[in-house]
Amino acid sequence: MKEYFKSDEFLIIEEGFEPSYNRVSESVMSLGNGHMGIRGNFEEKYSGDSLSGSYYAGIYYPDKTKVGWWKNGYPEWFAKVLNGINYIGIDVTIKGLELDIAKCDVVDFRRILNMKQGYMERSFVAIDKNNNKTKIVSKRFLSMADSQIATIKYTVIPLNYEGEIILQPYLNGKVVNEDSNYDEYFWEEVDKKADDQVCYLNMETKKLGFRVACTMKYEIYNKTKKIEAQQTKSVCQEGYVANVIKIPVKAGDEITLNKYISAVTNRDYSNEQLEDVSIKEVTKAYDKGYEALLEAHISKWDEKWEENDITIKGDVKAQQGIRFNIFQLNQTYTGDDPRLNIGPKGFTGEKYGGSTYWDTEAYCLPFYLSTAPSKIARNLLIYRYNHLEKAKENARKLGFKGALYPMVTMNGEECHNEWEITFEEIHRNGAIAYAIYNYENYTGDKKYLADYGVEVLVEISRFWADRVNFNKEKDKYMILGVTGPNEYENNVNNNWYTNTIASWTMEYTIKSLDYIKEDHPTIYDKLLTKLELKDHEVDKWKDIISKMYYPYIEDKKVFCQQDGYMDKEQILVKDLPEGNLPINKNWSWDRILRSCFIKQADVLQGIYLFNERYDLDTIKRNFDFYEPRTVHESSLSPCIYSIIASQLGYEKKAYELYLRTARLDIDNYNSDSDDGLHITSMAGTWMSVVYGFGGLRVKDDELCFSPFLPKSWTGYSFRIMFRDSLLSIKVDDTIVIELISGADVMINIFNNKYILTKTNKVEIDNN
């Protein structure tokens, strides 16, 4: 596999400009701060191939649905992650010629993502057709300390000429989404202003009226000397504002433009406040100055790394991979706004409308549970609680009782439109129930069930109870016409995972109701009235639990992915001739559907979630059967297999799959990182270290570990929060677990119990 980025523990380094790889680099070099994000696009004009992207959390557009054949139940519109005002732009003119590196010779090109300090840096020398050589150095960040601020330091160094350069920093609201269904333009201008020093632009989305207002200010230096008087003018056009700064230069000058930007939205302020707030914010930033802003930003990143870094010794690629994943997760979601969620592409691309998939509950929640105060994970649950009414409407629309959460959503409404997924990939409902259990189990906050959780559980159980059908002859409940996590087969009957999670949800709902009845009787009575829950409903759930049908492959003693799976021709991935993988790029859809190849963990997803139910032999048989048939063409796949491989002691396999998940985007493994990064699977990467190599589990309120050291590493360490205590875990020749802060914790290592206190760390020989 060709490596485009040099390995380094904290940097992603691209050396030499390869236009055909630009979109991938732009994705990898994306920056974000939870409030907004930008792809690694260039500041100056670039007429080559590029996906320009500036995104604002929670700002979306309901694009009219486009389908081949309309089916009742499809949503009318599809929420698009929206490309908004481009605030990074700085056009450069050198002695009358516009700088465009697609039209120059470019030497010494470097684009670097500094993950330790959260900025992107770029440098190159451009030689234009007049043989003028110009060195450009730029550095930018989206402040973690003040999420509404972005700053760029852009330096132009004429190397062999004198004359005039023009710098034109701008705000451009005339941007488009590449994936717009009807090539529609989504934005309208509300207001703009431009004078010699300050430019302001306010744009509004059509239909929903989201507003984004940006203001910019700038300052110019030659080396360290501020240049006060420039010949400037401003430009004010439809959806576009700019300053035009003319500067006479000679060879060896170093002209630096510091561009300060504020970006505020009417999700946080009223429309009337936007201009005022935006101008005030940028003025504050300008007054602080570039260095002070950078320092505050870096110190926030220091805090983040202190909380959730994973160190790996002896393997730079693995180290770079895990840090890249953690870095991108921290950039995407900071957890302080319960209206937001974690989109599969975060702030790095447009693909996948909507923001919230089952990915959040099944993959991302564990990361936030263990690396942040519990209110952050709780916010992710509250997000779904707040969408419960919409999920009930969605179930009603399809003719069912209870609640069916959407496959993809922005505001609680479904915005996915392929019948085999929208209507059939209903296992997602189970992940939402499981997340409640996961939160309660990890944090010990059982009261959440009474306050919020059980309402969601009851409505999901009602849906399952209505969606099953009873087969009299077999005396079993069946779930027909579904798509399991393996999207390489649709409309199957009795997907083992779906049946398992449906039945488990009902069990957990009953258990939760019993607990509330016992511990919070007053709340229980109120809930019964609010939910109109009757005994006969619960009795029905019990009947379904006891008579659920689970397909099984008798001779192999493994769970059968779905009815009929064994009718397929059984071929292993390793026996596919070269050039077939990835099958989703090389095969027709029909061929994929008929094959035995599995896109992502399906039976294994169930074994991962309900791990304690199965003995090691069962887990091994299922892993040995399904892994060789899995092509891992969803980014969500390798991490789950890696965790189970670790559990089984398949260290080599666990490591191989870890690298695949950790470096998925850096190495463009699935040839699709040009669209944007796979953000949600990054939490899976974290799990494959902490749950996989570290063996973390929470059983009966006890934190358990069973760590091992992958052969190519000399050591690794991670930190986790557990019920407000912060623990550090280091694994090399010894396993050392220390309490960094918070109350004493009872831990279990390889089935031995220890009490961890501030003065008593646990140290075990690991040889």
Residues that are catalytic: 487
CB of 698 to ligand BGC, least distance (A): 25
CB of 353 to ligand BGC, least distance (A): 11
Tokens, residue 137: 């150095």
**487 touches ligand BGC by CB under 6 A:** yes
Tokens 């004493």 sit on residue = 744
Residue 545's identity, in one-letter code, is I
Closer residue to ligand BGC, CB minimum distance, 347 or 357: 357
Tokens 């003995």 sit on residue = 615
DSSP character string of 36-71 = EEE-S--SS---SS----EEETT-EEEEEP--SS--
Closer residue to ligand BGC, CB minimum distance, 158 or 366: 366
CB of 216 to ligand BGC, least distance (A): 35
User: Up-side HSE of residue 700: CA atoms within 13 Å toward CB?
Assistant: 3
φ, ψ at 441 (rounded to 5°) = -65, -40
Max Cα separation, the chain? Answer: 90
Q: Which residue in 200, 131, 211 sits closest to 163, CA to CA? A: 131
Residues 260-278 as b/e (b if ≥16 CB within 10 A, e otherwise) read: bbbbbbbbebeeeebbebb
Collapse the DSSP code of 764 into the 3-class scheme (helix H, G, I; strand E, B; otherwise coil) and give the result. strand
Window 194-233: residues binding ligand BGC (CB under 6 A): none
DSSP character string of 532-584 = T--HHHHHHHHHHHHTB---EETTTTEE-SSTTGGGS----GGGSPTT--SHH
Residues 382-395 as b/e (b if ≥16 CB within 10 A, e otherwise) read: bbbbebbebbbebb
User: Up-side HSE of residue 301: CA atoms within 13 Å toward CB?
Assistant: 25
Closer residue to ligand BGC, CB minimum distance, 300 or 632: 632
Closer residue to ligand BGC, CB minimum distance, 459 or 487: 487
Cα dihedral: 173, 42, 94, 235 (round 10): 10
CB of 148 to ligand BGC, least distance (A): 29
Burial class (CB in 10 A: 0-12, 13-18, 19+), 135: middle
Burial class (CB in 10 A: 0-12, 13-18, 19+), 473: exposed
CB of 354 to ligand BGC, least distance (A): 10
Q: Which residue in 573, 606, 416 sits closest to 495, CA to CA? A: 606
Write the DSSP symbol of residue 282.
H
Closer residue to ligand BGC, CB minimum distance, 150 or 598: 598
CA distances to 377, 440, 517 from 524, rounded to whole Å, are: 24, 18, 5
Closer residue to ligand BGC, CB minimum distance, 487 or 627: 487
Q: From the list 177, 411, 661, 680, which residue makes contact with ligand BGC (rule: CB under 6 A)? A: 680
Closer residue to ligand BGC, CB minimum distance, 201 or 364: 364
Window 328-387: residues binding ligand BGC (CB under 6 A): 344, 352, 357-359
CB of 358 to ligand BGC, least distance (A): 6
191 is in an annotated binding site: no
Contacts of 393 (CB under 8 A, 6+ apart): none
User: Up-side HSE of residue 702: CA atoms within 13 Å toward CB?
Assistant: 14
Give the number of other Cβ atoms within 10 Å of residue 621's Cβ. 16
Write the DSSP symbol of residue 315.
-
Closer residue to ligand BGC, CB minimum distance, 151 or 680: 680
CB of 352 to ligand BGC, least distance (A): 6
> Three-state SS string across 654-692, please?
HHHHHHHHHCCCCCCCCCCHHHCCCHHHHHHHHHHHHHH
Q: Cis peptide before 366, with omega less than 30 degrees from 0?
A: no
- Which DSSP helix (H) or strand (E) runs through 98? strand 97-98
Closer residue to ligand BGC, CB minimum distance, 140 or 345: 345
600 is in an annotated binding site: yes
Closer residue to ligand BGC, CB minimum distance, 111 or 599: 599
Instruction: Tell me if 758 sits within 8 A of 725, measured CB to CB.
Output: no
Q: From the list 636, 666, 690, 762, which residue makes contact with ligand BGC (rule: CB under 6 A)? A: 636
Closer residue to ligand BGC, CB minimum distance, 282 or 631: 631
Give the number of other Cβ atoms within 10 Å of residue 336's Cβ. 12
Contact string 134-173 vs ligand BGC (x = CB under 6 A) = ----------------------------------------
CB of 590 to ligand BGC, least distance (A): 18
CB of 571 to ligand BGC, least distance (A): 21
Contacts of 276 (CB under 8 A, 6+ apart): none
φ, ψ at 185 (rounded to 5°) = -95, 125
Closer residue to ligand BGC, CB minimum distance, 440 or 489: 489
CB of 54 to ligand BGC, least distance (A): 22
CB of 599 to ligand BGC, least distance (A): 6
How many residues of this chain bind ligand BGC (CB under 6 A)? Answer: 12
Contact string 34-53 vs ligand BGC (x = CB under 6 A) = --------------------
**Sign of the four-CA dihedral 631, 636, 639, 643:** negative
599 is in an annotated binding site: yes
Give the number of other Cβ atoms within 10 Å of residue 457's Cβ. 24
Q: Which residue in 624, 651, 650, 627 sits closest to 638, CA to CA? A: 627
Q: Which residue in 655, 649, 608, 657 sits closest to 630, CA to CA? A: 657
519 is in an annotated binding site: no
Q: From the list 232, 243, 262, 600, which residue makes contact with ligand BGC (rule: CB under 6 A)? A: 600
CB of 324 to ligand BGC, least distance (A): 18
**Binding-site residues:** 358-359, 599-600
Residues that bind ligand BGC (CB under 6 A): 344, 352, 357-359, 485, 487, 599-600, 634, 636, 680
**Binding-site residues for substrate:** 358-359, 599-600
